[in-house]
Amino acid sequence: MRGLFNLKRLTTEQIVDIIDYAEALKNNGLPVSYPDKKFATLFFENSTRTQNSFVMAMMKLGIQVDQIDVQHSSVTKGETLYDTVRTLEYIGFDGVVIRHSQNEYYKELEGINMPIFNAGDGSGSHPTQSLLDLMTIKEEFHSFKGLKCCIVGDIIHSRVAHTNAEIMKRLGMEVYIAGPESFLDDTAEVISLDEAIKTCDVIMLLRVQFERNAHLDMTKEEYHQKFGLYKERVDKMKKTAIIMHPAPVNRGIEIADDIVECSRSRIFPQMTNGVYVRMSVISRVLEGKLQ
């Protein structure tokens, strides 16, 4: 199978190449165009950023896009994921971007010949989110080695946390996690949020994933006080430290309303970088540099 499924399958060199190429696309413009290519998006879970960012990336690359409405497809009549994707391939699409609630759904797609781009699988992985996070960190600090990142919140349900922790450690970063005990797993070393605030270069917040049955055994107000980021905490961060969040944000729960766009926040610039990272990934796959 071709495409991008998770970052574990990629070498560190391939990951660095995707980020470097995304930076080049952002800063120097576009040397490539694929006007003869036709891609589909297939989102079984809702999305604002990833779906539209992939669509924007494809439009910038000259690729024609069909955003398939899963609710009005034959999925509702019992069609399997394999049969849906196989159908798209035989209809003539050259690639498909898929988000699905099932971890590693792509293992059901062995035999598909067109490239598949994973836009998130359950609580498994979200490779292009991690790549855009890494691009944002590199833009800020110019390298990864020795940087400290704390991922805060609902770690156990988060594909972003799992993907980021693995790749950040591989790139030489120190990764910590903080949050309510019931949300933590063995993704990284546990640290108190207030310790992380004083020592880390990146504070990466996560929302509570209620759609994955995350149970909050405190009120939202209590969560905000104990594990949220608000001005008093931001004032204690290292002078050079930044705030990140994959979004969507739940204002007033994991992050105070007035912090979402404060000077340390890179939350919206992360979204811009997502377009370039997705352009980079699609180009590398179409050029045969990523299998």
- Cβ contact 5:108 at 8 Å: no
143: contact with ligand CP by CB under 6 A:
no
Distance CA 151, CA 136 (A): 15
Which segment (41-49, 175-183, 189-197, 281-289) binds ligand CP by CB under 6 A? 41-49
**Minimum distance from residue 118 beta carbon to ligand CP (Å):** 12
50: contact with ligand CP by CB under 6 A:
yes
**Minimum distance from residue 50 beta carbon to ligand CP (Å):** 3
Distance CA 262, CA 272 (A): 17
Interface with ligand CP in residues 115-134 (CB under 6 A): 120, 129
49: contact with ligand CP by CB under 6 A:
yes
Q: How many CB atoms lie within 10 A of CB 161?
A: 29
The DSSP secondary-structure symbol of 153 reads S
Identify the CA nearest to 233 among candidates 267, 205, 269: 205
**Minimum distance from residue 116 beta carbon to ligand CP (Å):** 17
Residues 6+ positions from 127 with CB-CB distance below 8 Å: 4, 5, 6, 7, 118, 163
Nearest residue (CB) to ligand CP, 54 versus 93:
54
Identify the CA nearest to 62 among candidates 38, 94, 97: 38
136: contact with ligand CP by CB under 6 A:
no
- Report the residue from 14, 23, 47, 216 that binds ligand CP according to the rule CB under 6 A: 47
Nearest residue (CB) to ligand CP, 161 versus 191:
161
Write the CA distances from 73 to 4, 89, 90, integer angstroms.
Answer: 24, 15, 16
153: contact with ligand CP by CB under 6 A:
no
For residues 63 to 102, the per-residue mask of contacts with ligand CP, x marking binding by CB under 6 A and - elsewhere, is: ----------------------------------------
SS3 206: coil
Q: Which residues bind ligand CP (CB under 6 A)?
A: 47-50, 120, 129, 246-248
